[in-house]
Amino acid sequence: MNRALFLLPLLMLAVLAGFFGWSLLSGRDPASIGSAMVNRPAPALPFAEPRLKAGKPVLVNFFASWCTPCLAEHPLFMRLKEREGATIVGIAWKDKPEAARAWLAKLGDPYARVGFDQDGKVGLDWGLSGVPETYLIDAQGVVRLHFRGPLTERDLAAILPLLRGGS
């Protein structure tokens, strides 16, 4: 009993070090905050018919004309629309409608519909922390995936199966 007590600090260190090693090896991003939306019905969108019940998967992308990372992910959305025929809804967040329209006119418009969230209230309902952020909603209208920051090629591996499988 007494002897075990002297071993206790060493055991606790082992547990602690295990967690640290796990964290370092797992490539966990400590800044990631996750999303409370995943696996829940998609919140409302700023349209006349605000719920998403498209019967096929939809990507919802929050963007803004003043946002530089949005510029980086833009070609990816063009490709998703052209090659995959994906339905993408764009929400311009804290952006003037004319500025957002001009931005899309210049770069090309990947969106099936564009909505405007000038005061950030829609974004709040989606648990948005900034732009760009992207959500994948399945055919039943449930959020399946969430990406904070610009979408990259690597994220397509997760998106494409769901996008194709659902249609």
Partner 1 sequence: MIPELGHFALILALAVALVQGTLPFVGAARNDIRLMALGGTAALTQALLVILAFGALTQAYVASDFSVANVVANSHSAKPLLYKISGVWGNHEGSMLLWALILALFGAAVALFGGNLPDSLRARVLGVQALIGVGFLAFLLFTSNPFERLSPAPPDGNGLNPLLQDPGLAFHPPLLYLGYVGFSVTYAFAIAALLEGRVDAAWARWVRPWALAAWCFLTCGIALGSWWAYYILGWGGFWFWDPVENASLMPWLAGTALLHSAIVVEKRDALKSWTVLLAVLTFSLSLLGTFLVRSGVLTSVHAFAQDPARGMFILAFLLLVTGGGLALYAWQAPKLTAGGLFQPISREGGLILNNLLLCTLAATVLLGTLYPLFLDLLTGNKVSVGPPFFNATFVPICAPLFAALCVGPFLPWKRAELGPALAHLRIAFAVSVVAAIVAAAVIDGRATLSAAAFGFGVWLIAGSLTEFIVRVRRGRLRTMPRAAIGMTISHAALGVVVLGALATASWQVELIKTMKPGDTAQFAGFGVKLESVVPLQGPNYVAERATIALTAGGAPYTILTPERRLFTVQRRQISETSIHTNLLRDLYATLGEGDAEKGWTVRLYWNPLAPWIWLGAGLCALGGFVSLSDRRLRIGAPRRSRAAAQAAE
Partner 2 sequence: MLPDPALEARAREIGRALRCVVCQNQSIDDSSAEVAHDMRRAVRERLAAGDSDAAVFAFMTARYGDYVLLKPPFKTGTLVLWLGGPLVLLLAGGGLLLAARKRRPPPPPAPLSEEERARLDSLLGPRHSVAPHDHEMSATVWRGPSR
Positions touching partner 1 (CB under 8 A) are: 2-3, 6-7, 9-10, 13-14, 16-17, 19-24, 26-28, 30-34
Strands (E), the chain: 58-63, 87-93, 113-117, 133-137, 143-148
Structure tokens at 48: 């006349």
Residues whose CB is less than 8 angstroms from the CB of residue 12 and which lie 6 or more positions away in sequence, other chains included: none
How many Cβ atoms sit within 10 Å of the Cβ of residue 129?
13
CB nearer to partner 1: pick between 30 and 105: 30
CB nearer to partner 1: pick between 28 and 113: 28
Widest Cα–Cα separation across the chain: 76
Which partner from the list partner 1, partner 2, none does 166 bind, CB cut-off 5 to 8 Å by kind?
Answer: none
CB nearer to partner 1: pick between 20 and 47: 20
Which partner from the list partner 2, partner 1, none does 96 bind, CB cut-off 5 to 8 Å by kind?
Answer: none
Which partner from the list partner 1, partner 2, none does 7 bind, CB cut-off 5 to 8 Å by kind?
Answer: partner 1
Name beta bridge partners: 148.
133
To partner 1, the closest distance from the beta carbon of 40 in angstroms equals 15
